[in-house]
Amino acid sequence: MKMLINVPETVVADALRGLAASHPELIVDVENRVIVRRDAPVEGKVALVSGGGSGHEPLHGGFVGRGMLDAACPGEVFTSPVPDQMVRAAAAVDSGKGVLFVVKNYTGDVLNFDMAAELAEDEGIQVAKVLVSDDVAVDDSLYTAGRRGTGATLFVEKIAGAAAEEGAPLERVESIARRVNDLSSSFGVALSACSTPAKGGPTFDLPAGELELGVGIHGEPGRERRAMMTSREIADYAVDVVVADLRPDSPVLLLVNGAGATPQLELYGFAAEVHRALGERQVAVARTLVGNYVTSLDMAGASITLCQVDEDLLRLWDAPVRTVGLRWGD
Amino acid sequence: MKMLINVPETVVADALRGLAASHPELIVDVENRVIVRRDAPVEGKVALVSGGGSGHEPLHGGFVGRGMLDAACPGEVFTSPVPDQMVRAAAAVDSGKGVLFVVKNYTGDVLNFDMAAELAEDEGIQVAKVLVSDDVAVDDSLYTAGRRGTGATLFVEKIAGAAAEEGAPLERVESIARRVNDLSSSFGVALSACSTPAKGGPTFDLPAGELELGVGIHGEPGRERRAMMTSREIADYAVDVVVADLRPDSPVLLLVNGAGATPQLELYGFAAEVHRALGERQVAVARTLVGNYVTSLDMAGASITLCQVDEDLLRLWDAPVRTVGLRWGD
Amino acid sequence: MSSSEPAVDDVLDTPFFLRWLIAAAGSVDREAARLTDLDSAIGDADHGTNMQRGFAAVAEALEKEPPGSPGAALVLAGRQLISKVGGASGPLYGTLLRRAGKALGDAEQVTPRQLADALRAGVDAVAQLGGATPGDKTMLDALLPAVEALGAGAGSFPAAAEAAEKGALATVPMQARKGRASYLGERSVGHQDPGATSSALIIAALAEAAR
Amino acid sequence: MSSSEPAVDDVLDTPFFLRWLIAAAGSVDREAARLTDLDSAIGDADHGTNMQRGFAAVAEALEKEPPGSPGAALVLAGRQLISKVGGASGPLYGTLLRRAGKALGDAEQVTPRQLADALRAGVDAVAQLGGATPGDKTMLDALLPAVEALGAGAGSFPAAAEAAEKGALATVPMQARKGRASYLGERSVGHQDPGATSSALIIAALAEAAR
Ligand SMILES: Nc1ncnc2c1ncn2[C@@H]1O[C@H](COP(=O)(O)OP(=O)(O)O)[C@@H](O)[C@H]1O
Ligand SMILES: Nc1ncnc2c1ncn2[C@@H]1O[C@H](COP(=O)(O)OP(=O)(O)O)[C@@H](O)[C@H]1O
Ligand SMILES: [Mg+2]
Ligand SMILES: [Mg+2]
Ligand SMILES: [Mg+2]
Ligand SMILES: [Mg+2]
């Protein structure tokens, strides 16, 4: 498996050097692996810190900036970051109003952020946490680690980030973040496995004529494998699953997310089918975002995320955001 | 080769339906294949129209909007659009101040835009043309069709688009566009071939341990094949070639462009090496853009484009832009 | 003299031209994968689908608005190619047929000699539009020998077909100097030009139409 | 009784603990690819590199700031794992060693029984932190039998190693209920748990250190 890298060991550090060189509006601490918005801490503002394994870019580092995250902590590829990073990030961005940790629900992320929260609180930083758990492909039962956090992370970070930017106190930022998560559902498919630099090849085998339904963003195997389906069939399957879970009764935000190696041309064609499928099920779409936002290295495939919104959430979604990966408003 | 599509024949139309459903700020004529900004024609403004084969998204349709293109005409995959599209686009966006056609230098694009220019002029529309020809991998001699248009297209469309938005007359918009092209050079590498829907598989064979140096954005074979190189080596090679061609004596805009399937993590690592290589050659970088902007479907690989800028061009680069693919300023 | 070798004074009517264009559409459709494969080696793997799409549109248009003369048939076909194909081949083949059609005017019947002259005018227009000369490894390398054979052979379609086929084969050792294949420099040597190959199909369809 | 089967009243000094941790680092390094492959089947293909990175940091830290007691060695190692590994295994293994180290206090020498009790406390902390119970197909399924064997066998390291190895093998038919493998439901059956496998390596290193 050819990769545009030097050696697997330096992949994350190399990417951080590139981020630093390319985006002077960010403070990138390459050694300690923390990405911070340049104007942090922002006086009087609750700070948002997130992080997770690398390989999902632009998540999370690409979402650092006004209206979204104050800091991000990238771990090794597909490996949650360590508490030291999170504590350092929290200390760098806390203005005294407290910090919200946005944590994707994976055992590693949860354990490390939990430890970090304890340590940060020891340093006098007020910390709240929100777990993102939107992936309906996983049974949410006593017999699993619970639903995985995937595309809804973007919705949580954007909307809670906007609330924080407006001056909302920690409790409200936290409750909005939780609400966005509760109102979101996702489902993803893989047409190919992803390859991690350390492994140097595909992390799972996907036969030539098959696709993986319900794949995770680290290439975790999904619900089932099937013979390859058309864009239309995949959209119907994914929309059915997500809508059955969410049962939205007001308009939704729609994320049509590329896994990393699916061409934008295909992704927009898929978006057309998702819009059709939602329309046929009487789900109104308030806003659509199409692109590679929560990726899985070089995986081919896509996921959809719906978030049911009311006027307040929609206003926060539309609020200005100025990050490397997401940018609108003034 | 698995693709997230229905059938190869409808790939472009499907993507346009998705674009229409996802971006109400665009007028998308799916049947006639023209994408127009919603407020066109803009009173008193020179209009920019571009287009080319599909498969390079977000180029060109993703660059339609305030501060960049007024309209785009997507052709079939890797096939230049037809004159009818261009004439229709020109008629839709001309405010009476004339239209600039931004044409990537490929025989098909040149011939079709030439025919369109004649037809549009017959309809009373004033038309100017700029050819983008920045790819240093191709000998610019009597024995070739000349340099290919690649990454510099983004620079030309952004900077000339900003000039048009400022109210510059057609002649000036055209001369700025030409200047940007003259001041730009690009070089690309492929780690894998791309697969077109019609062919259903890779358009060329690239052995497992090799990379293609100087590849074109349609998978045209490049200068040479070599055993796989590191990110650092590729950056040195590409920067050498581009700097030798451009010999910049003032700061440059740098585009580190992904071919489509290269993970952003790798692309930023490559950006780090490109910055290093430029620094070692005393080339100052004024602005950097990293991402999948001028893609080749699912090709793995990257290209770099430099554009030497003065204060005027830099100001136009920094001017607000509000498109699906590129967005900043207010 | 067999029916496929028309004499100079044979006349070619509108149905003959329709048969020609439909036969061309059929062989382009049958050979699409081969054309795309050739284009995949030295181009961008779309020549087959381009020609298929274009000639399908030609066939549909001829059916929808049946032309009243040979010239009108070629002009209509040329316009369809320009409107539907894109790429390099669309404007070039479109110009070939449009120009040839215009040269025929609105005569209801034309002689093989008139057809040869009209195609000659079309090929000249292609050369002017694309700026290619013989030996550049383009469609011209099949078209030029074909129209020359047609002129010299007093309108012998099989001779034209043979000349086009030979011309297409002769592009194999050439180095491309026009179009996308020119980017390859020496690496274009050893491959047959896709456009010359489709030209040979179109010329061969003349003989089919005459049978 | 061979030297690798210490009696209850044998004492384990700081060098023993250093040997243990270095031996663990060595076998984790040698077996990294296997651990990653196991994790690739039911997880995210990083367990080998995680452990490798973590124990390399442990070895480096032990070299840089040589600890003064067995407890300090384990606490230092645990802290390194927490600071360097990430993922699920970092906090869990980090907690195991830190808690065990704290249980040992700052005694300069400890008995195998004390070590058994300290590891028992560490394993309990892992169970509490991760919320797993035996049979959930996690590292606990190797660690618990190991500390039990260690306690019962009066500090027999080979017995502990054997119990850990058997525990790791016993995860094969289990369905995962914790961690990333739990997402697979029934599809997790038939694969050996990577964390249980690395636990067996770490426990086996005890016997190596004792030799
Ligand atoms: N300048 C030119 N003059 C004549 N024929 C040309 C020229 N450029 C390209 N061609 C012909 O066009 C063919 C390629 O057509 P096609 O693949 O449909 O278009 P594109 O190259 O735009 O993808 C070539 O094989 C060649 O025969
Ligand atoms: N809740 C848990 N309790 C105990 N052990 C666990 C738990 N979750 C995961 N593990 C162990 O961690 C191992 C995976 O470690 P690793 O691959 O390094 O982390 P990650 O799963 O975050 O990628 C699993 O094989 C399992 O043994
Ligand atoms: Mg992991
Ligand atoms: Mg083409
Ligand atoms: Mg072609
Ligand atoms: Mg793992």
D175-189 confidence digits (pLDDT tens):
999 999 998 888 899
Rounded to 10°, the helix D112-130/D89-104 angle is 140
pTM exceeds cut of 0.80: yes
Instruction: Check CB contact under 8 Å for C178 and B107.
Output: yes
Among partner residues D50, D92, D184, which is closest to A79 by beta-carbon distance? Answer: D50
The pLDDT of residue B234 is 98
Is the Cβ–Cβ distance between A204 and A219 less than 8 Å? yes
CA dist., res. D198 & res. D182, Å (int): 18
Mean pLDDT of A176-189: 98
CA dist., res. A90 & res. A104, Å (int): 17
User: Is the beta carbon of C165 within 6 A of some atom in ligand 1?
Assistant: no
Return the residue of D nearest to A296 by Cα: D44
**C91: closest CA among C143, C128, C141, C42?**
C128
For residue A278, the SS3 value is helix
The pLDDT of residue B229 is 98
- For D53, the enclosing helix (H) or strand (E) is helix D47-64
Which residues have C-beta under 5 Å from ligand 6, the single-atom ion?
A: D 39, 43-44, 46-47
DSSP classification of residue D174 = P
| Chains with ≥3 CB–CB distances under 8 Å to C | B
pLDDT beyond 50 at A259: yes
pLDDT beyond 80 at D1: no
**Domain B12-182 belongs in CATH node 3.40.50.10440:** yes
Contacts (Cβ under 8 Å, ≥6 apart) of D48: A198, D31, D32, D33, D34, D35, D36, D37, D39, D194
- For A256, the enclosing helix (H) or strand (E) is strand A252-258
The pLDDT of residue B1 is 79
Mean pLDDT of B233-255: 97
pLDDT beyond 60 at B77: yes
Order of strands across the sheet that contains A71-77: A26-29, A34-37, A71-77, A47-54, A99-104, A127-132
- For B306, the enclosing helix (H) or strand (E) is strand B301-308
Instruction: Check CB contact under 8 Å for D44 and A138.
Output: no
For residue range B181-195, what is the model confidence (pLDDT) as tens digits?
999 999 999 999 999
List the pLDDT tens digit at each of the 211 positions of chain C.
344 455 445 899 999 999 999 999 999 999 999 999 999 899 988 999 999 999 999 999 999 999 999 999 999 999 999 999 999 999 999 999 999 999 999 999 999 999 999 999 999 999 999 999 999 999 999 999 999 999 886 669 999 999 999 999 999 999 999 999 998 888 899 999 999 999 999 999 999 998 8
Instruction: Give percent helix, percent strand, percent coil of chain C, each to the nearest 5.
Output: 70, 0, 30
Paired tokens of A171:
């409790």
Query: Best of D81, D138, D202 to mutate for ligand 2, by most ligand atoms within 8 A of CB?
Result: D138
CA angle, D72 then D74 then D80, to 5°? 100
CA angle, A279 then A281 then A286, to 5°? 45
Return the residue of B nearest to A288 by Cα: B22
C194 Cα–ligand 5 center, Å: 8
| CA-CA-CA-CA torsion sign (D20, D25, D26, D28) | positive
Paired tokens of A324:
């490397």
**D121: closest CA among D140, D97, D149, D141?**
D97
Instruction: Pick the residue whose CA is nearest to atom 2 on ligand 2.
Output: D130
Is the Cβ–Cβ distance between A19 and A72 less than 8 Å? no
A12-182 and A184-308 agree in CATH topology: no
User: Is the beta carbon of D48 within 6 A of some atom in ligand 2?
Assistant: no
Instruction: Check CB contact under 8 Å for B115 and C179.
Output: no
For residue range D44-93, what is the model confidence (pLDDT) as tens digits?
889 999 999 999 999 999 999 999 999 999 999 999 999 999 999 999 99
The pLDDT of residue C3 is 44
Mean pLDDT of A129-141: 91
Is the Cβ–Cβ distance between A173 and A156 less than 8 Å? no
Among partner residues A2, A55, A269, which is closest to B15 by beta-carbon distance? Answer: A269
Q: Which residue has the higher pLDDT, B208 or A40?
A: A40
Among partner residues C40, C92, C129, which is closest to B203 by beta-carbon distance? Answer: C40
- For A73, the enclosing helix (H) or strand (E) is strand A71-77
Measured between beta carbons, the chain A residues lying within 8 angstroms of B283 are none
C86 alpha-carbon distance from chain centroid: 16
pLDDT beyond 70 at A173: yes
Question: What's the mean pLDDT when you consider all of chain D?
Answer: 93
Paired tokens of B175:
């001369």
For residue range B88-104, what is the model confidence (pLDDT) as tens digits?
999 999 999 999 999 99
Torsion angle, alpha carbons of B124, B128, B132, B138, to 10: 90
The pLDDT of residue C185 is 87
| Percent of chain A at pLDDT exceeding 70 | 100
For residue range D9-39, what is the model confidence (pLDDT) as tens digits?
589 999 999 999 999 999 999 999 999 999 9
For residue A159, the SS3 value is helix
Instruction: Pick the residue whose CA is nearest to atom 25 on ligand 2.
Output: D195
- For B115, the enclosing helix (H) or strand (E) is helix B107-122
Return the residue of D nearest to A85 by Cα: D83
Paired tokens of B90:
């020109």
Residues of B marked as catalytic: 56, 218
- φ, ψ of residue C31 to 5 degrees: the values are -100, 10
CA of D194, nearest ligand number:
2
At B252, is the pLDDT very low, low, confident or very high (cuts 50, 70, 90)?
A: very high
| Percent of chain A at pLDDT exceeding 90 | 92
Count other C-beta atoms under 10 Å from residue C160's C-beta. Answer: 29
CA of B298 to nearest chain A CA: how many angstroms apart?
Answer: 6
At A140, is the pLDDT very low, low, confident or very high (cuts 50, 70, 90)?
A: confident
The pLDDT of residue A222 is 81
pLDDT beyond 60 at D8: no
Count other C-beta atoms under 10 Å from residue B124's C-beta. Answer: 9
Domain locations in chain A as residue ranges = 12-182, 184-308
The pLDDT of residue C9 is 54
Q: What domains lie within chain C, and their CATH numbers? A: 11-210 (1.25.40.340)
Mean pLDDT of B228-248: 97
Is the Cβ–Cβ distance between C67 and C21 less than 8 Å? no
| Chains D and A: 3 or more CB pairs within 8 Å of each other | yes
Quickly list DSSP for A24-49: TTEEEETTTTEEEETTPSPTT--EEE
B→C interface, C-beta within 8 Å: 53, 75-84, 106-108, 111-112, 114-115, 137-139, 142-145, 148, 196, 198-199, 203-204, 216, 218-221
CA dist., res. A104 & res. A51, Å (int): 8
Instruction: Check CB contact under 8 Å for B4 and A55.
Output: no
CA dist., res. C88 & res. C75, Å (int): 18
Q: Which residue has the higher pLDDT, A302 or B138?
A: A302
pLDDT beyond 90 at A145: no
At D154, is the pLDDT very low, low, confident or very high (cuts 50, 70, 90)?
A: low
For residue range A186-216, what is the model confidence (pLDDT) as tens digits?
999 999 999 999 889 888 889 989 999 999 9
DSSP classification of residue B8 = G
- Count Cβ neighbours within 10 Å for each residue of D122-151 and write b for 16 or more, e otherwise: bbebbbebbebeeebbbbbbbbbbbbbbbb
CA dist., res. D32 & res. A7, Å (int): 17
- Residue A23, classified by CB atoms within 10 Å of its CB into exposed (0-12), middle (13-18) or buried (19+), is buried
pLDDT beyond 90 at D4: no
Chains B, C: CB contacts within 8 A come to 114
Question: What's the mean pLDDT when you consider all of chain A?
Answer: 96
CA of A190 to nearest chain B CA: how many angstroms apart?
Answer: 10
| Chains with ≥3 CB–CB distances under 8 Å to B | A, C
Mean pLDDT of A67-80: 97
* 3-class secondary structure per residue, B203-270: CCCCCCCEEEECCCCCCCCCCEEEECCCHHHHHHHHHHHHHHHHCCCCCEEEEEEECECCCHHHHHHH
Measured between beta carbons, the chain A residues lying within 8 angstroms of B300 are 2, 4, 261, 298
The pLDDT of residue A233 is 98
Instruction: Check CB contact under 8 Å for D36 and A199.
Output: yes
Measured between beta carbons, the chain B residues lying within 8 angstroms of A21 are 271-272, 275, 285, 288
Return the residue of C nearest to B115 by Cα: C91
Q: What CATH architecture does domain A184-308 belong to?
A: 2-Layer Sandwich (3.30)
CA dist., res. B193 & res. B217, Å (int): 10
The pLDDT of residue B220 is 84
Q: Which residue has the higher pLDDT, D44 or A48?
A: A48
For residue range D96-146, what is the model confidence (pLDDT) as tens digits?
999 999 999 999 999 999 999 999 999 999 999 999 999 999 999 999 999
Is the Cβ–Cβ distance between D88 and D108 less than 8 Å? no
For residue range A80-107, what is the model confidence (pLDDT) as tens digits?
999 999 999 999 999 999 999 999 999 9
pLDDT beyond 80 at B255: yes
Among partner residues D40, D83, D88, which is closest to A199 by beta-carbon distance? Answer: D40
Question: What's the mean pLDDT when you consider all of chain B?
Answer: 96
User: Is the beta carbon of C179 within 6 A of some atom in ligand 1?
Assistant: yes
